[in-house]
Amino acid sequence: MSKVTFSIIKADVGGWPGHSTVHPDLIDACAASLDTAVETGVIEDFLVTHVGDDIDLIMSHRRGVDNPEVHQAAYKAFLAGTATAKKLKLYGAGQDLLSDSFAGNVRGMGPGVAEFEFTERPSEPVIAFLMDKTEPGAFNMPIYKMFADPWNTPGLVIDPNMNKGFIFEVWDIETHQAIFLSCPEEMYTLLSLIGAKSKYVIKRVFPKKGHKLPHNEPVAVVSTEKLVEVAGEYVGKDDPVAAVRAQSGLPAVGEVLEPFSFPHLVSGWMRGSHNGPLMPVGLDNANCTRFDGPPRVVGLGFNVANGQIGEPNDLFADIAYDNARKQALHVTDYMRRHGPFEPHRLSLADMEYTTISKVQKELQGRWTPIDQVARAEIRVIGEVE
């Protein structure tokens, strides 16, 4: 039997209303489109779901990563959702689709992609993580904790299949370069990079040679598309997704989920311009309303069998995450009290591609060198030529 490919492709094609959630008709339109992809043999199984205003297509197939037919099927689904969004006059209809025509691969066309190909094990648990109102670097801390932190993952200490560690592939998303770092040997070097989450992003995690799993098959993958890099201007936050394999020489499902019991601060939230806590929620609470947030993460557990993903387990719907949600809400209140001030608002360097740049351009010509201020005329709006 050929290898299985697990693909998550996401896009914002219209919010209901504003940026809060997805209209059910858009989900139905995307699902109907993917039904055709199953009938024609392009994909084997799928789920259409959402977090906030992002539609997430979770698919299984045997065509490998970056397959043009699979990506085209996903793009057609998003176009169907966009057509429905335009009929309903939803906000931001087709926002993440930067072209009406498919160019062979959705990478660089707006949607986010996380997919890996692997040899199916006797039991194959895969967790799909879906985020809204944040950026790819939001996964840095959780993925690090899963595969490198023994306080989070005791399997790194007590499981002989894991205590040699894992290899992290890190991308510099500004210079478009990648590096592979081995943990635990290069743990401090890894942390020196991924702590700067707006620049360095964990892309994939691999087993080391000698692990019972093939060392060239990823065990975790994160979407790293930056919309400002694609569109050239701010068109919304990147809202990343990730897929993580679990058990049998990998972190247990509980170890994979444990990092999200701490609602760490991430960038995004309102207008993509604020820091806030990442709140783990079940699908019933995947609606971003408080200040268009706070940022959310949904965790769906699948047991892949014979190429089929089957029904998901809504993992963060568990009451065990109630305290994390309460803490996130307390942090939300605290951060909101800062209003337009940092550190609630992002630093100017991180806001370079947001709409604040247009505000700054309006001030050009009104600045005076400090050593000339004493003899300069007071120039305010309405008095500038």
Q: Which residues are catalytic, by number?
A: 12, 234, 237
| Cβ-contact 165, 185 below 8 angstroms | yes
Closest among 115, 126, 117, 215 to 165, alpha carbons compared: 215
CB-based contacts of 379: which residues, under 8 Å, 6+ apart? 366, 368
CB-based contacts of 46: which residues, under 8 Å, 6+ apart? 31, 34, 37, 38, 57, 58, 59, 60, 309
Alpha-carbon dihedral sign for residues 158, 159, 163, 169? negative
Euclidean distance between CA atoms 223 and 86, whole angstroms? 27
Closest among 6, 23, 13 to 77, alpha carbons compared: 13
Q: Return the bridge partners of 60, or none.
A: 6, 45
Euclidean distance between CA atoms 114 and 169, whole angstroms? 14
Euclidean distance between CA atoms 149 and 142, whole angstroms? 10
- 3 state DSSP class of 283: helix
- Angle, helices 140-148 vs 187-194, to 10°: value is 170
Edge-to-edge order in the sheet of strand 45-51:
45-51, 54-61, 4-11, 112-118
Strand 112-118, strand 124-132: pairing: unpaired
